[in-house]
Structure 1
Amino acid sequence: MKLRLLILALLFTISGCKALGPPFHKADKPLDTRSAVFIYKSPEVKNAFQIILNNEHIATLGPYGYTWLYLEEGSNTISIYEGWNRNSEKYSLTFNTRSNEKFYANISSGYSETGSNPMNQLFFQKVPSDRALKALPQYVYQESKQVK
């Protein structure tokens, strides 16, 4: 009996350590004048993060989670905050998009694109496509609301 409980506890622990969803696949080509933005959350950042586009909640990302969304042409601001508290510290990126572009952004506590890493610093930053495409196959898709 104790062995069964131990195995059950182990299974629940393991299953809660990674985001659920299908493995990485590229987004469809953006339609008309829209651009695609991929956002992925590195595993060292343990808590879930809320993704906000122009003040609308669009997704929640867990460890090893990624999502994409389509942005209309022009200036679009994407913000993130930890957990479910909208009053927690927010981090934002602005994307100035043209039709059929693809962008990549990462939530991490690792090194920034400039190579600096103050202790306990969270980064929400744009990343080059080659770096993102190298990392993304280990991530799983987490659905976002389709932005029209």
Structure 2
Amino acid sequence: MENTFFTYLSSPVGWLKLTGNSNSLLSVSFEEMEGDGSSELPPILKKSRRQLEEYFEGIRKEFDLKLSPEGTDFQQKIWKLVTNVSYGKTATYHDISVQSGSEKSTRAVGLANGKNPIPIIIPCHRIIGSNGKLTGYAGGLERKRWLLLHEQQNSPKQDMLF
């Protein structure tokens, strides 16, 4: 079994715990407070921290990281589709279910989206209800709202997303 490492990042949406192995980012989780990170960090975690800092500064619009989220084949498929939703844009759970080839699986898409172990980088916050309302976010709706507004403020002028 490969060693895992972790580090913490203070962000505008609270503390983030980044977990990875020597090659890939495995998870990003919302934490109540900072803990002690690993004494040595592999390059992937240093790169992940830097890219998230750039994202929060409004500089980075796309992430370039090797990701290894654990999940079922269906979850992996949904997370890949969610990753295709551009910075500053939104899609609905129904949009993602249609793209997945399972138009009637909107609820399953919502459940898969909620199990995303790498929020922000796999931008599950960009997925909203068909009625344009913010629904469900493992990190809480306030974080989802903040992330969407942050992206909107750092994107070319456009209509409100939600």
Larger helix fraction of residues: 2
Q: TM-score, normalization: structure 2?
A: 0.24
Structure number with larger C-alpha Rg: 1
Larger strand fraction of residues: 1
Greater RCO (Cα-Cα under 8 Å, separation 6 or more)? 1
Q: TM-score, normalization: structure 1?
A: 0.25
